[in-house]
Amino acid sequence: MKKKLSKNILLDKTFNLVKNNIINEKFSPLYLISGEENYFIDLLTSKFEKLFLSKKDKYELIIFYGNELNTGELINNCKIFPLFSEKKIFLIKEAQNIKNFDNLKSYFLNPNNNSIVIFSYKKKIDKRKKIFSILNKNCVIYESKKIYDNQVFDFVCKYVEDKKYKYEITAIQIIIENIGNNLIKIVNEIDKLFLNINQFDMISNDLVFQNIGISRKYNNFELQNAFINKNFNKALKIIEYFELNPKETHINLIISILFNLFSKLLIYHDINSNKDDFVSKKLKINPYFLKDYIKAANNYSKDKVINSISKLKIADLMSKGIENKSKSQFDILKEMSYLIICK
């Protein structure tokens, strides 16, 4: 059940360059690990830190935090040759909070090869700024791009496979639809599941329900199924459950899931093909879930899909307080569900 991730960040050349630098201990003097997807920034930062801590005889590791960093002090420290190790390592976490980042320009132009400076920069860099064009000359710059919603499923499957576990497709989907696209949270929950099974065992629906705190009957996955099947009573029961257990979901996550569903249905109605592989590829879904979209398309005409998307947009605005002074998020969900499923 191997997944081929055509645009997955794990296939990014710079990501693999940095990873191989760590494995082979062949380093550049400067690294900027930046971007909008914190999971991959944390992953590379952790790999650097674990290596340097495990080989204290070779590397002297010094950790700074961006909001506390004195740039002049950093430059002076970087220029000092190591006394009791081969190299001095300066790991700057939360580097996006560095004040006067431009003051580092002089060091970026002439870095000390006996020091390694790693910036863990949890923000998209502004490539228009001169400081970053200078940095680009002597630095390995990795940009962690935000993973798209339609890439999350394949990412999670590959993560599980790489750890030598099996999985039920629906189990992975249940996790995603109840956590969202936060890779750090998803991976943390899956790592907890690994503790409950042996390697090569299966991540099943039951395992997810038993260990992640997701209700078997009342969850975002089942709510989406209620919409697919136009089952208002089921949708209402799930929303009422969420109303009694508000920490288990959020209106923004539900609207996002349903918006994704109806957006794909709109695409489906314009596809002139009955070949499953072709349709699945167009919808950017796992073929396993195509039957759900076929069923939903039979329940919602193209006009109804367009109308449903409009209702979702109105609900989203209301959830943000626009043209809504008194309705709770659950009242908004109930009304939206009725208008989409019953009207």
Is 150 in contact with 177 (CB distance < 8 Å)?
no
pLDDT mean over 3-26: 77
Beta strands per DSSP E along the chain: 30-35, 59-65, 87-93, 115-121, 140-144, 166-167, 202-203
Here the tokens at position 316 are 């989203």
CA distance 44 to 195: 23
pTM for the whole thing?
A: 0.83
**Euclidean distance between CA atoms 83 and 61, whole angstroms:** 13
Task: Report the C-alpha gap between 57 and 48 in whole angstroms.
Answer: 15
Q: Which domains can be identified in the chain, with CATH numbers? A: 9-144 (3.40.50.300), 149-211 (1.10.8), 220-341 (1.20.272.10)
Q: Which stretch, 139-148, 270-279, 297-306, has highest mean pLDDT?
A: 297-306
User: What pLDDT digit, counting tens, does each position of 41-94 carry?
Assistant: 999 999 999 999 999 999 999 999 999 999 999 999 999 998 889 999 999 999
Question: Any idea which of 50-54, 195-199, 255-259, 328-332 has the lowest mean pLDDT?
Answer: 195-199
* pLDDT-above-90 percentage for the chain: 84
**Which residue is associated with the tokens 């449903």?**
308
Give the pLDDT band (50/70/90) at residue 3: very low
Higher pLDDT, 281 or 1: 281
Q: Max Cα separation, the chain?
A: 76
Q: How far apart are CA 212 and CA 206, in angstroms?
A: 10
pLDDT score of 278 more than 90: yes
Pairing mode of beta strands 87-93, 59-65? parallel
What digits encode the pLDDT tens for the residues 144-199? 998 888 899 999 999 999 999 999 999 999 999 999 889 999 999 999 999 999 98
The residue that leads in pLDDT, 2 or 74, is 74
Token pair belonging to 203: 């991540």
- Cα dihedral 246, 250, 255, 257 sign: negative
Nearest to 330 by CA among 211, 213, 206, 246: 246
pLDDT at 284 over 60: yes
Measured from the Cβ of residue 171, the count of other Cβ atoms closer than 10 Å reads 23
